[in-house]
Amino acid sequence: MSAKRSTVAVIPCDSYDEEKVYNCIKSGLNELGGIGAIIKPDEKILVKPNLLSAAAPEKAVTTHPAVLRAVFRLLAEEGYTDVKTGDSPGHGSCEGAMKALGLNDDTMFGAKLTPMSENVHTDFPEGLTCKEFDFCREVVESDAIINVCKMKTHALERITGAVKNVYGFVCGYRKAAGHVKFPNDTVFARMLADIHRCTHPRLHIMDGIMAMEGNGPGAGTPTPMNVLLISTDPVALDTVYCYLINLDPEVVPTNSQGTRMGIGTDKEDEIEIVLCDSNGQNTDAGSRTITKDELFEKYGNGSFDVGRDKPKKTFLMKYSGFMTKIARRPFIDKDKCVKCGICVDHCPVPGKAVEFKNGKTSPPVYDYKKCIRCYCCQEMCPRHAIRPVRGLFRKH
Ligand code: SF4
Ligand code: SF4
């Protein structure tokens, strides 16, 4: 047993070859004591991928089907019979996103696709920042959740990983209201931590074989990182992701707030990183503890395109969102925009902070005074025409 608080298994994996991915996940789970130590066979399981939108697997927008199929296969082989899978994408349907990955009830080793479209209001009086949620029914009705997230960048939170992926528990369009209620990266991260405190996902598996850098989570560049990460601690897992891309874990709000709110740890001396073999065998022979420096030397990418600046927040600015507002703003590339209006539809601000000014004769225009910098517009733009730019007075 590790003396450290949290273990993160790192399994090198340089392709989406199905047998290889399966063996890697098996190896990582062995390091955590096996799936049986985490979930009982008679429990109702929800496997929650990142299905941001209907996108081909090679775009790295969604959890790769090989990773999901490996999880389903492992659960089936270990005797788990009540397994559902789904997500609540911000745009489009769960079924559409799964179809784009080539997944359906016939290709998921007995796991059943579930729509995640019915809302159940959930009171959470223990919430530190959020005391009620509108969760998808499947979240409320499951006994154990397996969070199968994707290694990507994120315009609001810098990265999206294990902590951020639970926002898909919130049902459909109700996500937009959350952005208005929690309008900056810090309070939004605290709300995400409350979702973890309310729903207690048991296991977190990150697909970092082909990651996404740059303009994530929907319009970035696929970049091989060649790893899978597995942990029962979402913050520790995301912290190890930060080590791999040379990003100070403390500048990621989901890490710092997640640690403060007790859903995990981003403290180096509390995290044991275990490098596992890729053959699915008992890890006694093939795994060893590794330092974060050694991890970076072997598998890291210091030029991974992610925001690394360290905003200096005063006490007063900390929760006001002021720094968030002056630091960056969304910008539309007119050459890429097809004037579809999806960004306008998804802007959660009453009265809209992005709108067409002359019908659809020209791209929508921002009102930066209204804009809360939630980046829902950037996340949902199907043409990748929106990106965050720095500096309030910058000319483009
Ligand atoms: S969603 Fe993208 S392509 Fe559509 S109108 Fe907005 S900026 Fe243009
Ligand atoms: S314009 Fe975009 S970033 Fe600004 S509030 Fe609306 S959706 Fe959010």
**Residue 344 CA: which ligand 1 atom is closest?**
6
**247 three-state secondary structure:** coil
pLDDT score recorded for residue 310 = 81
Q: Is the pLDDT of residue 132 over 80?
A: yes
Q: How far is the CA of 177 from the centre of ligand 2 (A)?
A: 12
SS3 259: helix
Helix, strand, coil percent values for the chain (each to nearest 5):
30, 20, 45
Mean pLDDT in residue range 266-285: 82
| Percentage of residues in the chain having pLDDT higher than 90 | 86
Fold for domain 322-390?
Alpha-Beta Plaits (3.30.70)
According to DSSP, the residues that pair with 206 across neighbouring strands are 149, 229
Which position has the higher pLDDT, 327 or 371? 371
**Structure tokens belonging to residue 6:** 């949290």
47 in Cβ contact with 92 (< 8 Å): no
User: Ligand 1 — pocket residues by CB below 6 A?
Assistant: 332, 337-343, 363-364, 381, 383, 385-386
Lowest mean pLDDT among 124-138, 252-266, 382-396: 382-396
**How far is it, in rounded angstroms, from Cα 371 to Cα 354?**
8
pTM: 0.92
For residue range 194-248, what is the model confidence (pLDDT) as tens digits? 999 999 999 999 999 999 999 999 999 999 999 999 999 999 999 999 999 999 9
Res 1 pLDDT > 70: no
Please tell me the number of the ligand nearest to residue 342's CA: 1
User: In the prediction, which pLDDT does 40 show?
Assistant: 97
Look at domain 6-299 and name its CATH class: alpha beta
Beta-bridge mates of residue 146: 47, 203
- How is residue 276 annotated by DSSP? P
Domain boundary assignment for the chain: 6-299, 322-390
Share of the chain above pLDDT 70, in %: 92
- What is the number of the ligand 1 atom nearest to the C-alpha of 333? 7
- Section 178-183 average pLDDT: 94
Average pLDDT, the chain: 93
Q: Is 152 in the pocket of ligand 2 (CB under 6 A)?
A: no
- Give the CA distances from residue 46 to residues 66, 108, 373, in Å, rounded to whole numbers and listed in that order: 18, 13, 31
Longest pairwise C-alpha distance within the chain: 67
Residue 281: pLDDT band by 50, 70, 90 thresholds? low
Helices assigned H by DSSP within the chain: 18-31, 65-77, 94-100, 137-141, 174-181, 185-199, 234-244, 253-260, 283-286, 292-299, 322-327, 342-346, 376-380
Mean pLDDT to the nearest integer, 21-33: 96
Continuous H helices in 111-168: 137-141
Closest of 231, 251, 249, 33 to residue 149, by C-alpha: 231
Report pLDDT for 54. 94
Give the DSSP per-residue string, 37-85.
GTS-TTS-EEEEE---SS--GGG-SS--HHHHHHHHHHHHHTT---EEE
277, 286 contact by CB (below 8 A): yes
pLDDT mean over 31-52 = 97
Q: Which ligand is nearest to the CA of 352?
A: 2
Among 331, 333, 340, residue to substitute to test ligand 1 (most atoms within 8 Å of Cβ): 340
Is residue 90 lining ligand 2, measured as CB closer than 6 Å? no
pLDDT in tens, 317-366: 555 555 555 668 999 999 999 999 999 999 999 999 999 998 999 999 99
Q: Residues 364, 369, 374, 375: is their CA dihedral positive or negative?
A: positive
Task: Calculate the CA dihedral of residues 42, 48, 30, 13 and round it to 10 degrees.
Answer: 150
Q: Which ligand is nearest to the CA of 351?
A: 2
Give the Å distance between the CA of 385 and the centre of ligand 1. 6
Distance CA(219)–CA(245), nearest Å, equals 19
Q: What is the pLDDT of residue 396?
A: 45
Closest atom of ligand 1 to 364 CA is 5
What long-range pairs does 336-342 form, CB within 8 A, spacing at least 24? 336/383, 336/384, 336/385, 337/363, 337/364, 337/383, 337/385, 338/383, 338/385, 339/363, 339/364, 340/382, 340/383, 342/91, 342/380, 342/381, 342/382
User: Which residue's C-alpha comes closest to atom 4 of ligand 1?
Assistant: 340
Residues in contact with 305: Cβ distance below 8 Å, sequence separation at least 6, in sequence order: 153, 213, 214, 220, 221, 223
pLDDT at 285: 60
pLDDT above 90 (res 161): yes
Of residues 90 and 293, more confidently modeled: 293
Residue 151: φ, ψ to 5°: -80, 100
Nearest to 228 by CA among 148, 307, 339, 335: 148
Give the whole-angstrom CA distance, residue 29 versus residue 25: 6
- DSSP character at residue 214: S
